[in-house]
């Protein structure tokens, strides 16, 4: 068995076409097919369901397992090369990261540190939902993911909290809201709203907050882009719910103002997720080191609006929680 045979196999799975897979691998289609056939003969099992033409007809049950192992083998080979490069202070390659759209203003701060410490690393960010993140971490097409810690449903992963996300209501800077710094969810429900699409995790979280206040809303406009919703507020009468850190990064547009949403005041922790293993893969380790450094200094949380008092209070709650979970050994 050769590594290129596994690459041929995964190219067909990813492209769902033998001809396109051959082009991706920079080989002829007969060479690709021959390599896969040789792999099948060596393993003694059919990998692909057979049909006419170059179309992809799916994997056999054995093929599904072979493809899973192929991704693991290739990812470990890539990790070996990365680790050797790290030992020579010359890490190169792609850091593949999944993230929720609401985290887009935060990532530049973290990725700046990647460039500072590892100038040879190229970062590829995918703004996707949790289901796609889980799949990417499972099949090794993602090195790490940044999403909400609670109810992430990413399977068994290592996780490190990065910052706490709170919510604000972005409103037109008009006489109606003059002098105000807060607004209740119940009050917000009576305003004309533009919100994220109902299928997105961030919107579902917003809907839960409205429900907790005894309200149900029907937005005038829906979009998958928070920035587009912010433009709606800037140029029309609509209001929208935004992560509070958007007031700092990227900052408020002219003609808008942000009010803290209260009753209830909700927040959720955002964390870095990576594969649970004895050894952290080098590319994932890059982000783990950066997140650890920010956690020690608290600089990222302060930049996003958290106070030292809030961080201290949170740390004390975590310590208390750990004491409750600790079972004293019997004498």
Domain range summary for the chain, segments of one domain joined by +: 3-82, 90-162+270-313, 164-267
Give the CATH fold of the 90-162+270-313 domain: D-Maltodextrin-Binding Protein; domain 2 (3.40.190)
**Collapsing DSSP states into helix, strand and coil, what is residue 5?**
helix
Count how many Cα atoms sit within 13 Å of the Cα of residue 271 in the half-sphere of its side chain: 17
Q: What is the pLDDT along the chain (331 residues), one digit of tens a residue?
A: 678 888 888 888 888 888 888 888 888 888 888 888 888 888 888 888 876 665 677 888 888 888 888 887 877 777 776 666 665 466 788 899 999 888 999 999 999 999 998 898 999 999 988 889 998 888 888 999 999 998 778 888 899 999 999 999 999 999 999 999 999 999 999 999 999 999 888 899 999 999 999 999 999 999 999 999 999 999 999 999 999 999 988 889 999 999 999 999 999 999 999 987 666 678 888 999 999 999 999 999 998 888 877 777 766 666 655 554 444 444 4
List the CATH code of the domain at 3-82.
Answer: 1.10.10.10
Q: Which are the contacts of 219, defined by CB distance < 8 A and separation ≥ 6?
A: 193, 194, 195
Cβ(39)–Cβ(9) below 8 Å:
yes
Cβ(140)–Cβ(277) below 8 Å:
no
Give the CATH fold of the 164-267 domain: D-Maltodextrin-Binding Protein; domain 2 (3.40.190)
**Rounded distance between C-alpha atoms, residue 304 and residue 248, angstroms:** 7
Cβ(99)–Cβ(137) below 8 Å:
no
Q: Do domains 3-82 and 90-162+270-313 have the same CATH topology?
A: no
**Rounded distance between C-alpha atoms, residue 243 and residue 132, angstroms:** 22
């Amino acid at each position: 068995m050769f590594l290129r045979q596994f690459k041929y196999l995964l190219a067909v799975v990813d492209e769902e076409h033998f001809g396109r897979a051959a082009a991706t691998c920079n080989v002829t289609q007969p060479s690709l097919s021959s390599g896969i056939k040789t792999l099948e003969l060596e393993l003694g099992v059919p990998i692909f369901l057979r049909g006419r033409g170059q179309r992809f007809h799916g994997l056999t049950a054995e093929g599904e397992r072979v493809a899973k192992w192929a991704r693991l083998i290739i990812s470990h080979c890539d990790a070996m090369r990365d680790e050797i490069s790290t030992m020579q202070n010359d890490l190169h390659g792609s850091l593949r990261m999944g993230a929720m759209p609401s985290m887009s203003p935060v990532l530049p701060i973290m990725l700046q540190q990647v460039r500072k410490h590892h100038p040879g690393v190229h970062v590829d960010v995918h703004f996707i939902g949790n289901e796609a993140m889980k799949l990417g971490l499972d099949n090794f097409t993602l090195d790490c993911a940044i999403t909400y810690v609670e109810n992430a449903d990413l399977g068994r992963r290592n996780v490190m909290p990065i910052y706490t996300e709170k919510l604000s209501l972005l409103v037109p800077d008009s006489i109606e809201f003059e002098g105000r710094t807060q607004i209740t969810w119940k009050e917000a429900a009576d305003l004309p709203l533009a919100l994220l699409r109902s299928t997105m995790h961030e919107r579902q979280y917003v809907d839960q907050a409205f429900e907790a206040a005894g309200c149900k809303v029907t937005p005038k406009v829906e979009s998958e882009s928070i920035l587009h919703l912010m433009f709606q507020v800037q140029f029309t009468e609509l209001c929208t719910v935004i992560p509070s850190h958007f007031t700092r990064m990227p900052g408020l547009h002219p003609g808008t103002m942000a009010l803290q949403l209260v009753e209830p005041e909700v927040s959720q922790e955002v964390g870095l997720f990576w594969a649970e293993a004895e050894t952290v893969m080098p590319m994932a380790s890059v982000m783990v080191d950066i997140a650890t450094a920010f956690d020690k200094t608290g600089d990222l949380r302060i930049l996003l609006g958290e106070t030292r008092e809030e961080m201290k209070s949170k740390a004390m709650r975590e310590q208390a929680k750990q004491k409750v979970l600790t079972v004293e050994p019997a004498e």
